[in-house]
Structure 1
Amino acid sequence: MLNLAAWRSGSLPRDTRDTLFLLAVVGWVLLMQVGHIPVWCAAMAVAVLGWRAHITLQGRPLPAWPWRLTLLAITLAATWMTYRTLLGRDAGVTLIVVLLALKTLEMRARRDAFVVFFLAFFTLLTHFFYSQSLLTAAGILLALLGLLTALVNAHMPVGHPPLRQSAWIAGRMALLGAPVMLVLFMLFPRMAPLWGTPSDAMTGRTGLSGEMQVGQVARLAADDGIAMRVRFDGEIPPMRDLYFRGPVLSDFDGVRWRPLRSGFPASMEIQAELQPLGQPVDYEITMEPSFQPWLVMLEAAVEPPELPRGRAFMTPDLQWMSTRPVTDLMRFRGRSHLAFRHGPRQSTVALQDFTELPGGFNPRTLALAQSLRQQYGAGPAVAPRLVEAVLERLRTGGYSYTIDPGVYGRDTADEFWFDRKEGFCEHIASSFVILMRAMDIPARVVTGYQGGELNAMDNYWVVRQRDAHAWAEVWLAGEGWVRVDPTGAVMPTRLGSLTRLAAPEGLLADTFRNLNPTLARQLRDAWEAINNRWNQWVLNYTQGRQLDLLRHLGFDSPSWRDLLLALALVVGTAGLAGALWMLWERQQHDPWLRLLDRARRQLEQQGLPAVTRPTPRELARQTQQHWGDTARARAIRDWLLRLEAQRYSAAPGASLATLRREFRQIPWTQTTKT
């Protein structure tokens, strides 16, 4: 049993210390996956690593193969029960995490440790399946340095070298490899992934949805994550005009809003008929991955954006879509007109789709619609008056804007208009559209983002998930579709300032923000600006930017073949230069060889015959043969033998610094021939 005093004093045996260090590094590698693996998987990994550490500290034998086989069977069964498959991203990562932990139970020799090293290196790559953020990269870099330290330490079988020495060597190795990594990053051709992850590649993301149920958008108010960053070419438009259009929802079944599935022939469906007005606004959007095909652009974009992959097209309801889901960080340019008209100017049969309501829902709202029509009249001519009457009801009827109105029942519009009189933007927009349709005014719900905030550190306009918004569009004769935001009637500051309703945060975050809100804002902006630089220059370094680099280097029409050629030339030249430098360094700049060469020159000056590439022992033999058994000859001979031992002996001997001092003390010029 290991003495606890050895643990406290730091005098652990070499094998124990190295094993515990490797277990700590493996634990860090697995800790970074805790948010992406099932609870049972994390618990099993912690238990196995703790068991292995206990075995190491107590000096007990490793468990026999039946134990390991039983744990493997449990892992396979639990993975299958969790995912109903052993393939795919999530199931595969779960298996890798447990297998890495189980492999530590087989570490009996250095060969087993090397398997753990390289399995841990592979596990590091799986972190990028879930996140490629700067924080993730920093955590992976720390784990990489830890694994390199353990690997270097494993190649030092003699003695008890301190871990700081291995860490220093590992750090130097990483720095020497950094230029190669940079060249590969800059020039290795970008291409589509060479692997696929079935069934689970499109899950686990927050953000807008292709359908809306009352209360769904309110949940995004608690999400402070960034949806996209926008950089305007000129002056930033007023915040009240920043509507970023997402999914348009026109089909209502009483519970959910979904995109329209019209029963009319395609030739009769409502077309976009977009007519831009005024000067355009040019901007660049960097979208975070949403795993959805829509492109959330500023209303209203006339020209399709140029995407790095796939192409963009506009639907009849003015929504821009991509032919491929946005699975990675995507940057593209857009041009929008904040003033515009769209949709038919005259009534068509297809507009009936936008007045339909399911039967049996919201009877009091239907009665309210009938009352308003009796008061103001009916028909397209009075539709603007009806819209204004409903907005006035929202302004003066005691309605309020909140992210926590409670759970709505079956008749959501009735509860909003008559009972609760409070809600988030989708409660208000949905109830407004239902009331419009009940008065035979074509209307639909538009979801997206509204507003945002400026990051003063890098001048990017940041749109967060909590800026998710829902508004309405009504069709008016002679005008087409007109945006009406009923939330602005309830809470005007929601649209024209930085006022947002946010879910309560943790006690620590609230306390820090209350103590120094300015510092908290500055720290957040600085961190997000750094992340934005990482996104722009690392994650968004596409093949197009690679080809632009080659153009700057003198290539007229660069292609991926030119990238390979440039990469081969740079790597080949760097490899040849490195090999020549190492050869020259070993021959000319090895401090031990330099000291031996100084001794050789001194002996030659005293008359010793020149020898090509002599060894210390050979010089010692020639010294004794040339000058005999004199005191000076014995001093030179003994010094040469100590120099040889310093290089080749397993036992620790004199250091090079000591040998240099002794070299200066030997009176080479006083040696006389006998």
Structure 2
Amino acid sequence: MLSLVQRLGTLPRDARDTLFLLCVIALVLLPQVGTLPLWCTLFTAGVLVWRGTLAVQSRPLPGRWWLIALLAVALAAIFATHRTLLGRDAGVTLVVVMLALKTMEVRARRDALVIFFLGFFVMLTNFFQSQSLLTAVAMLFALLGLLTALVNAHMPVGRPPLLQAARTAGGMALLGAPIMLALFMLFPRMAPLWGTPNDEMTGRSGLSNSMRVGTIAQLALDDGIAARVRFDGGSPPPQPQLYFRGPVLSNFDGREWTTTPPWERGSFDANLRVRGEPVRYEVTLEPSNRPWLLTLDAPAPKTLPEIPGLRVMATPELQWVANRAIGDLVRYRAESYPDFQSGPLRRTAALQPYVALPEGRNPRTLALAAQMKRDPKLADAGTPAFVQAALERLRSGGYSYTLEPGVYGDETADEFWFDRKAGFCEHIASAFVVLMRGLDIPARIVTGYQGGEQNGVDGYWVLRQSDAHAWAEVWQAGTGWTRVDPTASVSPGRIGSFQRLSSPPGFFANAIGTMSPTLSQNLRAAWEAVNNRWNQWVLNYTQSRQLDLLKSLGFESPSLQDLATVLLWMLVIATLGGVGWTLWERAQHDPWLRLLRRARRRLEKAGLALPEPATPRQMAALATQRFGAAAQPAHDWLLALEAQRYAPAPATALGPLRAEFRRLRWPG
């Protein structure tokens, strides 16, 4: 290690600066390794290593045709990967490739400046994928690295230490921090600037607007956070009652459940009937690239939130839907009634879609339904008896809850009820609803999140993607829609605070957990609490919070005009402060040299050409040579100025010389 450091210390400055710049570029690109195509990551890493090798070995850079060939290959790969050269993902890949290739033609300071500004742009593209606190901290180090490289490129020849450039860059960042903070607090909030996360959820837990049953052989639990909930008063309902409602799936083609389009729902409303006091809470919803908002079942329909940039509506299925996909962090308030009923009390034609089944599919499940109908005890008792009979079959029939059910065939309900008898919540809910519809009982699937856990550090209730769940609702005459969770009959531990299936921990988490069973959990809770504060105070700093800030400053009814006025005044104050700083700094310079420069400008204005290092005595001699007797007062004044600086005992102070300069008659 020491020999490597010593070797780096003996490198020429150009090679040392190049290696530092390559390391900074690698830091900028590191957060995108997981989102860029694999070939792009390997291509970029190869180019950077190649460039570093050339710098260390002091070898010449490749010719232009090499770069053109590499660029052509990269463009072809981008088009093959994204089917376009435009758009967010293809554009980011292209810029990353261009940044890597640009390092191969750094021959002048202009080329280095292009790399710096490309680096700043690529640094911003990291926020397309994530705006988390970890990404922000990484990009802060990347910013300081780019600023250090930029300062270092403008430092004089020789071998100035990088630490000196880093100090200058850090000082620049600190001087700009107050302006950055003021702009963040007061610059009017517009529509989201950043892109939305990728929408690839296949094989992972989470929500979707459809549910394709039996095509996933193994479900990977995703511990990513979907939402955070803060209950007013800090006392949420019991955990088994925490059902957060998402998409309602009604259409079934034999394999896939989908939502019913608005024009096919028929003319009926939610007809929500509630009992008890409402639960009031605040939801911080993570970006999902989906249009729905999560609410605790069931949300009061007259309490739709007002979210800047979004228009929210309530569907007849008690779901809240926005007018566009949620691509940024959203925070809203809601109130819900855990004790509720909804839907029509009498059977109408609007309920007919909820008993529809594809023809010729799942014949054994339909035969089971026909057998249950012929049972006089069940037929006489009606819907509640049929529901209880199906749940009892799940409890006592050897069914199990697993994340590895294998791939199902076309008759998913038949395979679950009679063959495999294993699945996760989507298999169980789908088979249950198919059986209910076979009994001519209106039924549908509701997806969302169930349970969650409370963070002991900040008190927020955390919903993870692994808490995603599917349950059923059946319709009963005189009651309406009633929630039935068939998974609770197969695996009671899946519901509420009991043990759940979980993904295996990583190496470090497993090592920490081995040393201390609670340390890993406490560290995770502390990190998530810190990240939540970042979400609440930075990512979710909305226009309404800006106006609230103006209220705290004394504005009674603040508006965007008031916001702009305050920002303008702050800019004026900052400008005046900069002017004052400049004047103060000028006052700190040598006043003797400043007075000499003023005399020099007077003589040059009169047409006298003066060499750059001319002393006062030389300037006096040249003035006498050019202007003769007319330059005598200036000649004497310049000699007095020289004596004031260099004589052992100056006869004149600088103040009188400054006053005499203003009265002096200069030649020309």
Which of the five TM-score ranges fits, normalised by the shorter chain?
0.7 to 0.9
Query: How far has the Cα of 1:593 moved from its partner?
Result: 8.0
Determine if the alignment matches structure 1 residue 550 to structure 2 residue 550.
yes
Match of 1:476 in 2: 476
Cα 1:12–1:389 shift into 2, 3 Å: same
Aligned length: 604
Quick check: 1:217–1:469 contact (8 Å CA) kept in 2?
Answer: no
Query: How far has the Cα of 1:134 moved from its partner?
Result: 0.4
Tell which deviates more after alignment, 540-549 or 207-216: 207-216
Determine if the alignment matches structure 1 residue 584 to structure 2 residue 609.
no
Query: How far has the Cα of 1:620 moved from its partner?
Result: 5.2
Quick check: 2:212–2:256 contact (8 Å CA) kept in 1?
Answer: yes
Alpha-carbon separation, structure 2, partners of 1:168 and 1:402? 57
Alpha-carbon separation, structure 2, partners of 1:491 and 1:5? 59
Cα 1:371–1:153 shift into 2, 3 Å: same
Match of 1:71 in 2: 70
Determine if the alignment matches structure 1 residue 519 to structure 2 residue 519.
yes
Quick check: 1:376–1:386 contact (8 Å CA) kept in 2?
Answer: no
Match of 2:275 in 1: 277
Alpha-carbon separation, structure 1, partners of 2:637 and 2:487? 91
Give the TM-score normalised by the residue count of structure 1.
0.84
Match of 2:375 in 1: 375
Alpha-carbon separation, structure 2, partners of 1:109 and 1:343? 73
Alpha-carbon separation, structure 2, partners of 1:5 and 1:371? 80
Determine if the alignment matches structure 1 residue 141 to structure 2 residue 140.
yes
Alpha-carbon separation, structure 1, partners of 2:501 and 2:640? 80
Match of 2:285 in 1: 287
Alpha-carbon separation, structure 1, partners of 2:31 and 2:641? 53
Quick check: 2:644–2:650 contact (8 Å CA) kept in 1?
Answer: no
Cα 1:376–1:618 shift into 2, 3 Å: farther
Match of 1:637 in 2: none
Query: How far has the Cα of 1:8 moved from its partner?
Result: 2.4
Instruction: Give runs of aligned pairs for residues 195-274 of structure 1, distance below 5 A.
Output: 203-204=199-200, 207-215=206-214, 222-234=221-233, 235-260=235-260, 266-267=266-267, 270-274=268-272
Query: How far has the Cα of 1:499 moved from its partner?
Result: 2.1
Match of 2:457 in 1: 457
Query: How far has the Cα of 1:260 moved from its partner?
Result: 2.7
Give the TM-score normalised by the residue count of structure 2.
0.85
Determine if the alignment matches structure 1 residue 429 to structure 2 residue 454.
no
Query: How far has the Cα of 1:263 moved from its partner?
Result: 8.9
1:271-318 deviation digits (Å, cap 9, x = unpaired): 311112110000000000111111111111112122222221111111
Cα 1:177–1:219 shift into 2, 3 Å: farther
User: Secondary structure at the residue paired with 2:648?
Assistant: helix
Quick check: 2:443–2:474 contact (8 Å CA) kept in 1?
Answer: yes
1:494-521 deviation digits (Å, cap 9, x = unpaired): 2231422112343443343243220000
Quick check: 1:275–1:340 contact (8 Å CA) kept in 2?
Answer: yes
Match of 1:80 in 2: 79
Match of 1:126 in 2: 125
Query: How far has the Cα of 1:409 moved from its partner?
Result: 1.8
Determine if the alignment matches structure 1 residue 622 to structure 2 residue 621.
no
Cα 1:263–1:41 shift into 2, 3 Å: closer
Query: How far has the Cα of 1:262 moved from its partner?
Result: 8.8
Alpha-carbon separation, structure 2, partners of 1:462 and 1:531? 12
Quick check: 1:262–1:353 contact (8 Å CA) kept in 2?
Answer: no
Query: How far has the Cα of 1:150 moved from its partner?
Result: 0.8
User: Secondary structure at the residue paired with 1:283?
Assistant: strand
Residue 255 of structure 1 aligns to which amino acid in structure 2?
A: R
Alpha-carbon separation, structure 2, partners of 1:9 and 1:344? 78
Quick check: 2:272–2:340 contact (8 Å CA) kept in 1?
Answer: yes
Unaligned stretches of 5+ residues in structure 2: 596-635, 653-668
Cα 1:380–1:304 shift into 2, 3 Å: farther
Cα 1:99–1:442 shift into 2, 3 Å: same
1:198-218 deviation digits (Å, cap 9, x = unpaired): xx8763467311110225799
Match of 1:663 in 2: none
Instruction: Give runs of aligned pairs for residues 487-502 of structure 1, distance below 5 A.
Output: 487-502=487-502
Residue 11 of structure 2 aligns to which amino acid in structure 1?
A: L
Quick check: 1:453–1:498 contact (8 Å CA) kept in 2?
Answer: no
Cα 1:264–1:182 shift into 2, 3 Å: closer
Identity in percent: 58
- From 272, 296, 299, the equivalent of 2:297 is 299
Query: How far has the Cα of 1:595 moved from its partner?
Result: 14
Residue 114 of structure 1 aligns to which amino acid in structure 2?
A: L
Alpha-carbon separation, structure 2, partners of 1:451 and 1:359? 36
Match of 2:39 in 1: 40
Quick check: 1:186–1:546 contact (8 Å CA) kept in 2?
Answer: yes
Query: How far has the Cα of 1:625 moved from its partner?
Result: 8.6
Residue 199 of structure 2 aligns to which amino acid in structure 1?
A: T
Match of 1:603 in 2: none
Match of 1:152 in 2: 151
Alpha-carbon separation, structure 2, partners of 1:23 and 1:328? 32
Tell which deviates more after alignment, 356-365 or 542-551: 356-365
Quick check: 2:229–2:283 contact (8 Å CA) kept in 1?
Answer: yes
Query: How far has the Cα of 1:407 moved from its partner?
Result: 1.8
Query: How far has the Cα of 1:193 moved from its partner?
Result: 4.9
Match of 1:8 in 2: 7
Match of 2:610 in 1: none
Tell which deviates more after alignment, 332-341 or 543-552: 543-552
Quick check: 1:264–1:350 contact (8 Å CA) kept in 2?
Answer: no
Alpha-carbon separation, structure 1, partners of 2:498 and 2:226? 17
1:528-575 deviation digits (Å, cap 9, x = unpaired): 001100000000000111111112212233222222221111122022
Match of 2:386 in 1: 386
Alpha-carbon separation, structure 1, partners of 2:447 and 2:92? 35
Query: How far has the Cα of 1:7 moved from its partner?
Result: 5.3
Residue 279 of structure 1 aligns to which amino acid in structure 2?
A: E
Query: How far has the Cα of 1:44 moved from its partner?
Result: 1.5
Query: How far has the Cα of 1:39 moved from its partner?
Result: 1.3
Alpha-carbon separation, structure 2, partners of 1:578 and 1:263? 62
Quick check: 1:243–1:299 contact (8 Å CA) kept in 2?
Answer: yes
Quick check: 1:403–1:503 contact (8 Å CA) kept in 2?
Answer: no
Match of 2:363 in 1: 363
Quick check: 2:294–2:448 contact (8 Å CA) kept in 1?
Answer: yes
Quick check: 2:428–2:486 contact (8 Å CA) kept in 1?
Answer: yes
User: Secondary structure at the residue paired with 2:199?
Assistant: coil
Match of 2:660 in 1: none
Alpha-carbon separation, structure 1, partners of 2:347 and 2:391? 23
Alpha-carbon separation, structure 2, partners of 1:533 and 1:412? 44
User: Secondary structure at the residue paired with 2:502?
Assistant: coil
Cα 1:190–1:594 shift into 2, 3 Å: farther
Query: How far has the Cα of 1:427 moved from its partner?
Result: 1.0
Residue 471 of structure 1 aligns to which amino acid in structure 2?
A: W
Match of 1:667 in 2: none
Quick check: 1:376–1:385 contact (8 Å CA) kept in 2?
Answer: no
Unaligned stretches of 5+ residues in structure 1: 598-610, 628-674
Cα 1:509–1:594 shift into 2, 3 Å: farther
Cα 1:360–1:368 shift into 2, 3 Å: same
Residue 103 of structure 2 aligns to which amino acid in structure 1?
A: T
Cα 1:476–1:595 shift into 2, 3 Å: same
Query: How far has the Cα of 1:13 moved from its partner?
Result: 1.4
1:590-628 deviation digits (Å, cap 9, x = unpaired): 6x889999xxxxxxxxxxxxx99999976553238989x
Alpha-carbon separation, structure 2, partners of 1:596 and 1:112? 37
Residue 412 of structure 2 aligns to which amino acid in structure 1?
A: T
Cα 1:379–1:104 shift into 2, 3 Å: same
Alpha-carbon separation, structure 1, partners of 2:572 and 2:217? 57
Match of 2:398 in 1: 398
User: Secondary structure at the residue paired with 2:247?
Assistant: strand
Say what the alpha-carbon RMSD is for the aligned residues. Answer: 2.8
Alpha-carbon separation, structure 1, partners of 2:529 and 2:592? 51
